[in-house]
A and B are shown apart, each in its own frame.
Chain A
Amino acid sequence: MLISCTWLSELLGRPIDLSPVGEANDPFWAQNIAERLTSLGLEVEGIAYFELPKVIVGRVDAVSAHPDPKATKLNLVELFDGQASVQVVCGASNLPPVGGKVAFAPVGTTLPDGLELSARELRGVASHGMICSEAELDIGGDADGILVLPIDWEPGAELQDLVPGIRDAVIEISVTPNRPDALGHLGVARDLALALGCELQPPKLRSVADAPELPELVEVPASDRCPRYLGYALEGCTVGEAPLWLRTRLHRVGLRALNNVVDITNFVLMEVGQPMHAFDRARLAGERVVVRMAKPSEPITILDGSELELSTDDLVIADAESPQALAGVMGGAGSMVEAGTDRLLLEVAFFEPLAIRRSARRHGQHTDSSHRFERQVDYDAQLELAAGRALALLHDLCGATCVGRCDVRGPLPERAQIELDPAHVGRLLGMDVGPDEVARILSGLGVELDRSTEGAWLCHPPSYRPDLDRDVDLIEEVMRHHGLDDLPARHSVSPEQRVMLPEDPKRGLADALTDGLRARGLHEHVGLAFVAEALIAPVAAEFEPSQLVRPVNPMRSQQACMRPHLLPGLLDAVTYNHAHHARALALFEVGRIYRWPLSQPELQPSATSEVDPFLPDEPYRAAAIRVGQSQSKTGEVARALTDDLLACLARVGLHAQARPQAEPCAWLHPGIQAGLWIGPTRVGVVGELHPDVVAARDLSELELGYGELWLEALPQPPVVQFEDIARFPATTRDLSLDLDQRVSSHEVVAALAGAAASALSSGDDPPQLANADDPRQPIVLLEDYRGEGVEPGRHALLLRLNYRARSRSVTDAEVTAVHDAVVAGALATLAAIDPAARVR
Chain B
Amino acid sequence: MAADAQQTPQQQLDEQLRSFEAALPDVADEPGLYELQVRFLGKNGAVTKLRRLMGKVPPSERKELGKAFNRVKQAMETHLATRAGELAAAARERDLARRVDLTFIPDPPRPGTLHPITQTRRELERVFRRLGFDVADGPHVEAELYSFDKLNILPDHPARDMQDTFFIERPTHLDHADAPALVLRPHTSPVQARTMLQHGAPVRIVAPGTTFRRDDDATHSPMFHQIEGLYVDRNVTMADLKATLYAFVEAFFGRGLGVRFRPSYFPFVEPGAEFDMQCPFCFDGQLSHGCGLCKQSGWIELGGSGMVHPAVFEHCGIDSSVYTGWAFGFGIDRMAMLRHGIPHLRHNFEGDLRVLEQFTSP
Chain A contact residues, CB within 8 Å of chain B: 38-41, 43, 176-179, 354, 357, 427-431, 470, 472-473, 475-476, 479-480, 484-485, 487-496, 498-501, 503-504, 507, 511, 514-515, 517-530, 546-556, 559, 562, 569-570, 572-573, 576-577, 580-581, 583, 585-588, 591-592, 594, 596-600, 606-608, 610-612, 614-616, 618
CB distance from B152 to the nearest CB of A (A): 11
Specify which of B109, B202, B270, B324 is in contact with A496 (CB 8 Å cutoff). B202
8 Å CB contacts to A: which residues of B141-199? 141-143, 145-146, 156-158, 162, 166-174, 176, 178-180, 182, 184, 194-195, 197-199
16 example contacts (A-B, Cβ-Cβ < 8 A) are as follows A427-B237, A430-B242, A472-B271, A487-B261, A490-B243, A491-B240, A492-B236, A495-B235, A524-B115, A549-B141, A552-B167, A562-B141, A576-B351, A577-B351, A581-B354, A611-B143
**In the complex the two chains form, is B216's CB within 8 Å of A491's CB?**
no
Q: Secondary structure of the A side of the interface?
A: loop
**In the complex the two chains form, is A523's CB within 8 Å of B141's CB?**
no
Contact with A along B324-362 (1 / 0, CB 8 A): 100000000000000000000000111111101100000
**In the complex the two chains form, is B214's CB within 8 Å of A492's CB?**
no
In chain A, what residue has the closest Cβ to B333?
Answer: A526
Specify which of A428, A492, A501, A528 is in contact with B199 (CB 8 Å cutoff). A501
B132 within 8 A of A: yes
**In the complex the two chains form, is A41's CB within 8 Å of B118's CB?**
no
**In the complex the two chains form, is A600's CB within 8 Å of B176's CB?**
yes
How far, in angstroms, from A11 to B185 measured CA to CA in the complex? 44
Of B41-49, B97-105, B203-211, B279-287, the one contacting chain A is B203-211
B74 within 8 A of A: no
CB distance from B158 to the nearest CB of A (A): 7
Q: A431 and B239 in contact (CB under 8 A), knowing A476-B271, A479-B271, A484-B263? A: yes
CB distance from B282 to the nearest CB of A (A): 19
How far, in angstroms, from A591 to B349 measured CA to CA in the complex? 13
How far, in angstroms, from A38 to B264 measured CA to CA in the complex? 9
Set of chain A residues within 8 Å of B134, measured between Cβ atoms: 500-501, 503
In chain B, what residue has the closest Cβ to A551?
Answer: B166
Q: A530 and B351 in contact (CB under 8 A), knowing A611-B143, A611-B145? A: no
CB distance from A520 to the nearest CB of B (A): 6
8 Å CB contacts to A: which residues of B199-244? 199, 202-205, 210, 212, 214, 216, 221-223, 233-240, 242-244
**In the complex the two chains form, is B236's CB within 8 Å of A522's CB?**
no
Q: A527 and B349 in contact (CB under 8 A), knowing A354-B156, A494-B235? A: yes
**In the complex the two chains form, is A490's CB within 8 Å of B240's CB?**
yes
**In the complex the two chains form, is A526's CB within 8 Å of B243's CB?**
no
Set of chain A residues within 8 Å of B205, measured between Cβ atoms: 501
Q: How many A-B residue pairs have CB under 8 A?
A: 279
CB distance from B159 to the nearest CB of A (A): 10
Specify which of B111, B158, B212 is in contact with A521 (CB 8 Å cutoff). B111
**In the complex the two chains form, is B176's CB within 8 Å of A614's CB?**
yes
Set of chain B residues within 8 Å of A576, measured between Cβ atoms: 350-352
In chain A, what residue has the closest Cβ to B274?
Answer: A43
**In the complex the two chains form, is A618's CB within 8 Å of B239's CB?**
no
Q: A491 and B168 in contact (CB under 8 A), knowing A527-B349, A587-B353? A: no
**In the complex the two chains form, is A550's CB within 8 Å of B112's CB?**
no
Set of chain A residues within 8 Å of B352, measured between Cβ atoms: 573, 576-577, 580
**In the complex the two chains form, is A573's CB within 8 Å of B143's CB?**
no
Q: A581 and B353 in contact (CB under 8 A), knowing A472-B310, A525-B115, A618-B140? A: yes
How far, in angstroms, from A357 to B157 measured CA to CA in the complex? 10
In chain A, what residue has the closest Cβ to B266?
Answer: A176
B291 within 8 A of A: no
B273 within 8 A of A: yes
In chain B, what residue has the closest Cβ to A498?
Answer: B202
Q: Given contacts A487-B242, A518-B114, could you give 10 more A-B pairs where the C-beta distance is less than 8 Å?
A: A357-B156, A476-B263, A488-B239, A489-B242, A507-B135, A526-B118, A528-B221, A606-B198, A611-B142, A615-B142
How far, in angstroms, from A597 to B184 measured CA to CA in the complex? 17
CB distance from A175 to the nearest CB of B (A): 9
**In the complex the two chains form, is B350's CB within 8 Å of A573's CB?**
yes
Specify which of A473, A524, A591 is in contact with B112 (CB 8 Å cutoff). A524
Specify which of A556, A592, A606 is in contact with B140 (CB 8 Å cutoff). A592
**In the complex the two chains form, is B349's CB within 8 Å of A489's CB?**
no
**In the complex the two chains form, is B145's CB within 8 Å of A610's CB?**
yes
**In the complex the two chains form, is B168's CB within 8 Å of A526's CB?**
no
**In the complex the two chains form, is A40's CB within 8 Å of B263's CB?**
yes
CB distance from B249 to the nearest CB of A (A): 11
**In the complex the two chains form, is B356's CB within 8 Å of A524's CB?**
yes
In chain A, what residue has the closest Cβ to B262?
Answer: A38
CB distance from A535 to the nearest CB of B (A): 14
In chain B, what residue has the closest Cβ to A577?
Answer: B353
Q: A428 and B212 in contact (CB under 8 A), knowing A524-B115, A524-B356, A614-B180? A: no
**In the complex the two chains form, is A429's CB within 8 Å of B141's CB?**
no
How far, in angstroms, from A515 to B119 measured CA to CA in the complex? 11
Specify which of B109, B173, B174, B237 is in contact with A429 (CB 8 Å cutoff). B237
Q: A596 and B239 in contact (CB under 8 A), knowing A553-B162, A572-B351, A587-B356? A: no
How far, in angstroms, from A477 to B238 measured CA to CA in the complex? 14
**In the complex the two chains form, is A526's CB within 8 Å of B117's CB?**
yes
B94 within 8 A of A: no
Set of chain A residues within 8 Å of B195, measured between Cβ atoms: 501
How far, in angstroms, from A498 to B110 measured CA to CA in the complex? 44
In chain B, what residue has the closest Cβ to A627?
Answer: B353
How far, in angstroms, from A43 to B265 measured CA to CA in the complex? 11
**In the complex the two chains form, is A615's CB within 8 Å of B239's CB?**
no
Specify which of A41, A498, A588, A598 is in contact with B265 (CB 8 Å cutoff). A41
B296 within 8 A of A: no
CB distance from B362 to the nearest CB of A (A): 9
Q: A472 and B270 in contact (CB under 8 A), knowing A176-B265, A611-B146? A: yes
CB distance from A36 to the nearest CB of B (A): 12
Specify which of A38, A43, A555, A587 is in contact with B351 (CB 8 Å cutoff). A587
